[in-house]
Structure 1
Amino acid sequence: MKIRAGLVVELVCNLLLPWLAYRAALPLWGDVGALYASGVPPIVWSVVQFARSRRVDALSALVLLGIVLSLLMMALGGSPRLLLIRESLVTGAIGAVFLLSLMFTKPAIFYLARATVARERENGDADFEAGWHKWPKMRASIRLMTWVWGIGLVGECALRCWLVWQWSVERYLVVSPVIGYGIFGGLTLWTMWYARQMRQRARLAAAG
């Protein structure tokens, strides 16, 4: 029940409230002002979630980077359609970082996964680091996940940038978050499935 309640609150803050803020501010401040208003609920939600975690790790750093870049683009101004894609540009930049990190020994997903394991159990980061050096299949799997997330995030950015010039501002504001949640949801479900397959293979290898 707690998970469901949290999901409902997240959807309200990221889907319903931005649209309501846009509709309420449009007659008063025009398109640009309404878009500023629509960005407030998701930004507040992200800040609250970060404050509740009380921890700085790789994932939290990415969240803060997205907030800072969004605020910077809003401060610089621009056309309503440019403001609409500010978050997509952040997503695309993160995806590009993922792909560029494949040029190095340890890709971006390595650091995100290590931070997650460190939160779940004591000395998890050290065990994860040891596994990285010990198991070639683990290294190949993490690099594959980095490829998938990098391509997915860059593709999401490209799709939303194309749609923002094809649709009206209000239609994009309503439908775009649904597209984003769908893509992120698909990437997350694939990651959970793939991680489960990795754990099963590791258990079979240990038993064998």
Structure 2
Amino acid sequence: MLRTLRALLPTLLDLIVPTIVYYLLHWLGVADAPALIAACAATAGYAVPRMIRRRRVDALGLLVIAELAATTALLTATGDARLALLRPTVYLTVAAAVFLLSCWCGRPLTYTGATPMATKGDPERAAAYERSWHNSPQMRSTHRRLSATIAAAMFGYAVLNVVIVHAFPVSQADGLQKVPGIALILVVMVLLRSRVPRLSRIVDAEQRRPTDTPQPTPAAGA
């Protein structure tokens, strides 16, 4: 659980830091639009150095940069802070669609996300985990159901975010929309952890399988 929480810490910071900055500036009397721009800039202030330290641009880093650019463009062009608050709805809807698409095209996104927990960093278990995708219908169905469930949760948050933004003043909506965001992260953590014992048993069985046993034809899209 601690390993999973550590992996999700950057995402939690992306939710918490801009909220703190926004409310601090709002308390100091800064208008909504510039306060939101400053909040996004604060997120970039640690996200970009994080990418530089890791010497690679990951998906999360790209999302932060894209969000920053979109927010700044929207607020500069319209001055409407509500439009900026709707940005999570857009990329969560896209993310939900990608999760669903991965259930039928290639491998579900949870396959990669659950790898460290199911293999515990053991190269032999990692190889068995890879083989299990081809040999175990249970492995494939577990990841497909899990990815579909996460997609549904993302879409639910996207819809809820629209309701929050339009039902509350900007000063309240900015904070309230983070609550389901944090809840979504916790749900993903719980879902992944709840499937780890099952995935681990599948990997254990694959490790016990004789290496000279003929392997089934890989599933379509594998």
Q: Which moved more, 1:7-16 or 1:45-54?
A: 7-16
Counterpart of 2:71 (choices 69, 74, 86) is 74
CA contact (8 A) 1:32 1:80 kept: yes
Higher helix share: 1
1:122 equivalent to 2:120? Answer: no
CA contact (8 A) 1:18 1:39 kept: no
Amino acid of the structure 2 residue aligned with 1:74: T
1:87 is matched with: 88
CA contact (8 A) 1:22 1:37 kept: no
Structure 2: 5+ residue runs without aligned partners?
209-222
For residue 97 of structure 1, report the CA deviation from its aligned partner: 0.8
Q: 2: distance between equivalents of 1:16 and 1:64?
A: 15
Q: 1: distance between equivalents of 2:135 and 2:9?
A: 41
CA contact (8 A) 2:164 2:176 kept: no
When normalised by structure 2's length, the TM-score is 0.71
Amino acid of the structure 1 residue aligned with 2:94: A
Identity of aligned residues (%): 20
The within-5 A match list for 1:15-30 is: 15=16, 18-24=19-25, 30=31
Q: 2: distance between equivalents of 1:52 and 1:192?
A: 29
Amino acid of the structure 2 residue aligned with 1:174: G
CA contact (8 A) 1:92 1:154 kept: yes
What secondary structure, in the 3-state scheme, does the structure 2 residue paired with 1:165 have? helix
2:172 is matched with: 171
1:150 is matched with: 151
For residue 126 of structure 1, report the CA deviation from its aligned partner: 4.1
- Higher RCO (CA < 8 A, seq sep 6+): 2
Q: 2: distance between equivalents of 1:46 and 1:91?
A: 19
What secondary structure, in the 3-state scheme, does the structure 2 residue paired with 1:106 have? coil
CA contact (8 A) 1:15 1:174 kept: no
2:61 is matched with: 64
For residue 200 of structure 1, report the CA deviation from its aligned partner: 4.1
Report the aligned-residue RMSD: 3.8
1:185 is matched with: 186
CA contact (8 A) 1:19 1:173 kept: no
When normalised by structure 1's length, the TM-score is 0.75
Q: 2: distance between equivalents of 1:204 and 1:114?
A: 16
CA contact (8 A) 1:96 1:150 kept: yes
Shift in CA distance, 18/153, structure 1 to aligned 2, threshold 3 Å: same
Q: 1: distance between equivalents of 2:174 and 2:49?
A: 23
Give the number of aligned pairs: 203
Q: Which moved more, 1:196-205 or 1:175-184?
A: 196-205
Structure 1: 5+ residue runs without aligned partners?
none
Shift in CA distance, 92/48, structure 1 to aligned 2, threshold 3 Å: farther
Q: Which moved more, 1:14-23 or 1:192-201?
A: 14-23
CA contact (8 A) 2:131 2:206 kept: no
For residue 164 of structure 1, report the CA deviation from its aligned partner: 0.5
Q: 2: distance between equivalents of 1:48 and 1:73?
A: 20
1:141 equivalent to 2:142? Answer: yes
State which structure, 1 or 2, has the greater radius of gyration over its C-alpha atoms: 2
1:103 is matched with: 104
Q: Deviations over 1:93-116 (max 9, x none)?
A: 112111122231422223444577
